[in-house]
Amino acid sequence: MQNDKILSHAELLQLKRWNTPTIYNGWEQITRRDRTRDAFNLETTQDFMPEMGPMVGYAVTIQFEPSEPGHRERNPKAAQEYREYVSSQAGPKIVIVQDLDKPRTVGSFWGEVNANTHRALGCVGTITDGAIRDVDEMKNAGFKALARRLCVGHAYSYPVKWNCPVEVFGQTIQPGQLIHADKHGFMAINKDEEAHLLEAAVFMDQNECQTVIPAARAIQGKTDKEILEQLSEASKNFGDAAAEKFSRRGEW
């Protein structure tokens, strides 16, 4: 099994305790990428299992084209070869599915059978810019899904290409990227960003809890002028703490 992961299982579990916006707050402090367009979905996603909370895992990638019946004939062994690829990757895994029929919705790669099959192969969920079906059965399998919509059929749901870059929701995902996703959307983390991501996210969350959030809540008995001064001071303290840690001042 391939395994070049940087983070331990315990660290992945800690990342899963935070929502994806909190992960973004840490990521923007440590990344060299453009925080206005890189790493996160640029189109609307829908989390069909928000009660399951965030999911964290490493991307396994696949393209499929449910409107095209000829793919099975061109490679009758594709389904088995694709499953062997998924099995060979280190987990936890999140399946990133590019629907080549987009913006049409012809059929779903996902349903009760595929969710259980992928769960058996160490996958915890999927992000697909196509559709899903059998939502209750997927939940029962413990398999989370972010998708564009629901549909009723599977059509010709056969692997076309896998272990390749895929584009979903306006963002290109590379195989093996660390994925963090919840009801807000998803983030795809580069290898050089993994090591300090958890520390940065926790620091920025604590920074908020020690400065701007208490300042906004401790307003009883104060005048508008006092409140404004308090908020300004808290914002400065927040920025100073971020700058001291990361040489960036953060959101506030």
pLDDT for 105-127, tens place per residue? 999 999 999 999 999 999 999 99
Residue with tokens 């919840």: 182
The DSSP symbol for 234 reads: H
Tell me what percent of the residues of the chain surpass a pLDDT of 70: 98
In the structure encoding, which two tokens stand for residue 112, read together? 């009760």
In 3-state terms the chain splits into helix, strand, coil percentages (rounded to 5) of 40, 20, 40
Q: Specify whether the CB–CB gap between 6 and 194 falls below 8 A.
A: yes
Q: Specify whether the CB–CB gap between 211 and 241 falls below 8 A.
A: yes
Contacts by residues 39-43 (CB-CB < 8 Å, ≥ 24 positions apart)? 39/171, 39/187, 39/188, 39/189, 39/190, 40/171, 40/185, 40/186, 40/187, 40/188, 41/168, 41/169, 41/170, 41/171, 41/185, 41/186, 42/169, 42/170, 42/171, 43/129, 43/169, 43/170
Average pLDDT over residues 59-75: 94
Query: pLDDT-derived band of residue 207, with 50, 70 and 90 as boundaries?
Result: very high
Among 46, 29, 10, 39, which Cα is nearest to 174's? Answer: 39
At 198, which amino acid appears?
L
What pLDDT, on a 0 to 100 scale, did the predictor assign at position 248?
82
CATH topology of domain 9-193: Glucose Oxidase; domain 1 (3.50.30)
What pLDDT, on a 0 to 100 scale, did the predictor assign at position 250?
77
- Specify the length of the chain in residues: 252
pLDDT tens column, 7-43 = 999 999 999 999 999 999 999 999 999 999 999 999 9
Residue 4: is its pLDDT beyond 70? no
Average pLDDT along the chain: 95
| Sequence spans of domains, the chain | 9-193, 211-246
Average pLDDT over residues 143-160: 96
What pLDDT, on a 0 to 100 scale, did the predictor assign at position 1?
47
Residue 194: is its pLDDT beyond 70? yes
**Beta strand 55-64 pairing with 178-182:** antiparallel
CA distances from 238 to 18, 172, 247 (A): 20, 33, 12
What pLDDT, on a 0 to 100 scale, did the predictor assign at position 10?
95
Helices 20-30 and 197-210, packing angle to 10 deg: 110
| pTM tops 0.85 | yes
Residue 6: is its pLDDT beyond 90? no
**Phi and psi (nearest 5°) for 95?**
-85, 120
What pLDDT, on a 0 to 100 scale, did the predictor assign at position 72?
87
What pLDDT, on a 0 to 100 scale, did the predictor assign at position 121?
98
What pLDDT, on a 0 to 100 scale, did the predictor assign at position 247?
86
Q: Helices (DSSP H) in 75-211: which residue ranges?
A: 78-88, 112-120, 135-140, 191-194, 197-210
Query: pLDDT-derived band of residue 249, with 50, 70 and 90 as boundaries?
Result: confident
